[in-house]
Amino acid sequence: MLQQLRMLFPLFWTFFRIGPATFGGGYAMISLIEHETVTKRRWLDDQELSDLVSIAGSAPGGVGVNAAAFIGYRMAGITGAVISIIGITLPTFLIILGLSFLYMNLDGNPKVAAAMKGIQAAVIALILSAAYRMAKTSLFDLSTVIIAIATLVVLLFTEINPIYAILSGLLIGVVNITVKMLLGLKVRTEKETPQKREDAVYLEYYI
Amino acid sequence: MLLKLFLFFLKIGFISFGGGYAVIPMIQHQMSSQSWLTDSEFQEIVTLASMGPGSIATNSATLIGFHIAGIPGAIASTAGIIIPSLIIIVLIAAFFYKFHNNQWVKASFYGLRPIIVALIAYAAIHLGLQSGKAFAPSWATIMTFVICGASAFALIKYKVHPFTVIVAAGIAGIILF
């Protein structure tokens, strides 16, 4: 118990420092987490790290927050998970509010408005590249390609609440695999993973 | 209002598969159907959200909460979108350590992944159509396409860091617009 309590500050501090470096989303920071928690502090071994990456990547929520919760829980129970999540979120929270204050004070400045327009275009590219990377690893047979195209068409041309898309995805997956198993077809639920460890860690295929 | 924000983002948090981009259309759907934000306010928020570290979804939640109800709103929304991660990860770590090897979990993700791809693509197209104002061939529209195309190329082909791309696009914006 006392040992768990003693873990709380190192957990908080480690994730507090990782937080601001999580620019550009999840996977960039996995190597940072590996360095801090496997190489430096030996909180996890390599096998645990690889479980961590697939769990943090497939559970809902940001990869960084999930990884922090997982490591925090393993090291110091629920309190550890809460402390780690606060640690990794707090810097981002403060930075983003600061940016927002700055922007409000500069609102109406034509240079700032022009820069924002440029950044807006880059954000669209950022999102497109995320879609491209995920498509590369998750569209690997006819069914997955058809599901993706059909979903995009439905989203573009109807007013449907996108939440239903997520819910139907879970259902479609189970039905599809069940039908294939009943028909005796070969079932493949994932793209074959490369055996090299570095590749496996950075594979943007978990969701 | 604080409770409404908290509960909405709590719901989003439980389904935010795919690291955050995929929930942008869902957040936008709620904003316009509840008239919490106009489309252009939402777009401004997503742009600001992408300029900070962390996930765009969490940052958007923080900024939407702040915009609607000040600092308490920012805290309520951020807590809402993060608490599901905490609950799910603790449950997995405590009980289903090997859950990602389960056949049914794999089967669900098989169907979910292509839909996440579609949702992310839709988020990009939807934001793009708003800033392009439906393809009117003006200087601003063409430059938006140019910056967007160049950024996508830099990100995908040359794996340029997102932060570098955002700074470069900001400078390009000041010069071009």
Which residue of chain B is at minimal alpha-carbon distance from A111?
B174
Calculate what percentage of chain A has a pLDDT beyond 70: 85
Q: Which two tokens stand for residue B12?
A: 């989003």
Q: What residues 29-48 of chain A have any CB closer than 8 A to a CB of chain B? A: none
Interface test with B, best of A127, A187, A192 (most B CBs within 10 A): A127
Give, for B42, the enclosing helix (H) or strand (E).
Answer: helix B39-51
Nearest to B6 by CA among B85, B86, B87, B73: B73
| Tens-place pLDDT, residues A52-104 | 877 887 788 888 889 899 999 988 999 999 999 999 999 999 999 999 999 88
pLDDT exceeds cutoff 60 at A206: no
The shortest C-alpha distance from A126 to chain B (Å) reads 7
Chain B residues touching residue A131 (CB < 8 angstroms): 21, 117, 120-121, 124
pLDDT exceeds cutoff 50 at A195: no
pLDDT category, A187, cuts 50, 70, 90?
A: low
pLDDT exceeds cutoff 50 at A198: no
When computed from its CA atoms, the radius of gyration of chain A, rounded to whole angstroms, is 21
> Residue B92, Cα to own-chain centre: how many angstroms?
25
Per-residue confidence in pLDDT tens, chain B, 177 aa? 899 999 999 999 998 887 678 888 889 888 988 899 988 889 889 989 988 888 888 999 999 999 999 999 999 999 999 999 999 999 988 876 666 667 777 778 888 888 889 998 998 888 887 765 555 667 778 888 889 999 999 988 888 888 888 889 999 989 987
Does residue A70 belong to the interface with chain B, where contact is any CB pair within 8 Å? yes
Give, for B64, the enclosing helix (H) or strand (E).
Answer: helix B56-94
In this predicted structure, what is the pLDDT of residue A191? Answer: 66
pLDDT category, A148, cuts 50, 70, 90?
A: very high
Average pLDDT, chain A: 81
In this predicted structure, what is the pLDDT of residue B155? Answer: 86
Kindly provide the ipTM of the predicted complex, given to two decimals. Answer: 0.85
Interhelix angle B162-176/B139-156, rounded to 10 degrees, is 160
In this predicted structure, what is the pLDDT of residue A203? Answer: 40
Q: How many CB pairs under 8 A join A and B?
A: 352
Chain A residues touching residue B93 (CB < 8 angstroms): 55, 69-70, 73-74, 81
Which residue of chain A is at minimal alpha-carbon distance from B102?
A189
pLDDT category, A205, cuts 50, 70, 90?
A: very low
| Burial class of residue A112, CB neighbours in 10 A (0-12, 13-18, 19+) | middle
Cβ-defined contact of A207 to B116 (cutoff 8 Å):
yes
Q: What residues 114-133 of chain A have any CB closer than 8 A to a CB of chain B? A: 114-133
In this predicted structure, what is the pLDDT of residue B82? Answer: 94
Does residue A10 belong to the interface with chain B, where contact is any CB pair within 8 Å? no
Cβ-defined contact of B124 to A131 (cutoff 8 Å):
yes
* Listed ranges A38-42, A188-192, B115-119, B136-140; the one with the highest mean pLDDT: B115-119
pLDDT exceeds cutoff 60 at A194: no
Does residue B2 belong to the interface with chain A, where contact is any CB pair within 8 Å? no
